[in-house]
Amino acid sequence: GTGAVTPGRGDGGPAPRRATIAARTLRTDRWWVQPLVTVVVLVLFIAYSSFRAFQNAYYHAEPYISPFYSPCITTRCEGDSFPEFFTGPAWISPALYILVLPLGIRLTCYYYRKAYYRSFWLSPPACAVAEPHRRYTGETRLPLVGQNVHRYFLYAALVFNVILFYEAVRGFRDETGEWGHMGLGTLVLLVNAVLLFLYSISCHSCRHIVGGRLNDFSEHPLRYRAWTWVSRLNARHMQYAWTSLFAVAFADFYVLLLATDTIQDVRFF
Ligand code: FES
């Protein structure tokens, strides 16, 4: 961007380079459905995940641990195998120490930015619908210029991906630590780990890391092939964003049901 521009008055009023159309939009379809659904789903997810992160209980049912509490880095953690670094006050939920990283990647994600700029900020609410704001500075100023840190959240997410796979593989052991177990919980954690991994590697920053800054693909055949592959996943980044969001909430919910003895795990073997 080149700094502040003033594209329009947002009420459909006159502006340079814009036709003088009084209506806010000429769209006649239900363009508001998509932003509305986005707000409802994200608010529900934020409410549920905040409740669970602060709850500080029912996040472990051997051999499973909720992804909201993984990695669990305090000595107060129940049931995970991750190295524990410190104790910390009992009233601070172990989820809160790590929450900033998964929260950070979603908040600065290029896809979610599109989704919440449209749905929460109405900036603009949909294509060809004027926004209510008078000024537009893009992401050139604080706080939005901070979205540039996205790539660092991606690095952290890749580390989390490894940990979540590790915890999912632990699900192939039973309560006594014997290998050869597989329950529905094992599958739930595994699917969650896979979808979160797909979300990470389909990331726009990942695509740039893999194939960006090259002037000549023919001199970098391996990176070109990897870039082609990541590009294909990248085209589905939105789908991975939503499916992994549902998967992580469901995985946590499944552990909650087990930990509160509401249901028993289904055991395949
Ligand atoms: Fe969505 Fe990077 S663009 S995670």
Token output for 111 = 């896809």
Describe the crossing of helices 184-201 and 221-234 by its angle, rounded to 10 degrees: 120
Crossing angle of helices 100-108 and 110-119, in 10° steps, is 70
Q: Check residues 5 and 28 and name the one with the higher pLDDT.
A: 28
Beta-sheet pairing, 64-65 with 60-61: antiparallel
How far, CA to CA in Å, does 39 sit from each of 109, 111, 112, 216? Answer: 16, 14, 11, 42
Per mean pLDDT, which range of 59-68, 97-106, 128-137, 150-159 is the poorest? 128-137
Question: Which neighbouring-strand residues pair with 15?
Answer: 18
Q: Is the CB of 111 under 6 A from ligand 1?
A: yes
Q: How many residues does the chain have?
A: 269
Q: Which ligand 1 atom lies nearest to the CA of residue 199?
A: 4
Distance of CA 237 from the midpoint of ligand 1 (Å): 7
Ligand 1 close to Cβ of residue 203 (< 6 A): yes
| Cβ of 72 less than 6 Å from ligand 1 | no
Tell which wins on pLDDT, 201 or 81. Answer: 201
Task: Quote the pLDDT of residue 7.
Answer: 47
User: Which has more confidence, 11 or 202?
Assistant: 202
Are the C-beta atoms of residues 135 and 6 closer than 8 Å to each other? yes
Best of 205, 238, 243, 248 to mutate for ligand 1, by most ligand atoms within 8 A of CB? 205
Structure tokens at 4: 């502040």
For 198-210, how does the pLDDT look when each residue is reduced to its tens digit (9 = 90+)? 999 999 999 999 9
Q: Which of 95-99, 121-125, 134-138, 193-197 has the lowest mean pLDDT?
A: 134-138
Distances (CA, A) of 250 to 22, 152, 173, 199, 246: 46, 26, 21, 16, 6
Exposed e or buried b for every residue in 190-215, given b needs 16+ CB within 10 A?
bbbbbbbbbbbbbbbbbbebbbeeee
Helix ranges, the chain (H): 33-55, 94-98, 100-108, 110-119, 150-170, 184-201, 204-211, 221-234, 237-259
Ligand 1, atom 2, lies closest to the CA of: 203
- For the ranges 4-13, 138-147, 224-233, the maximum mean pLDDT occurs at 224-233
Helix (H) or strand (E) holding 123: none
Using CB atoms within 10 Å of the CB of residue 37, give its burial: 0 to 12 exposed, 13 to 18 middle, 19+ buried. Answer: exposed
What distance in Å separates the CA atoms of residue 49 and residue 29, rounded to the nearest whole number? 33
Helix axes of 184-201 and 237-259: crossing angle, nearest 10 degrees: 150
From residue 13, alpha-carbon distances to 9, 17, 112, 116, 217 in Å are 6, 12, 29, 25, 47
ipTM: 0.99
> What pTM value is reported for the model?
0.90
Dihedral of CA atoms 120, 126, 127, 132 in degrees, nearest 10, equals: -60
> Residue 202 has what DSSP assignment?
T
Report the number of secondary-structure helices (H) and strands (E) in the chain: 9, 2
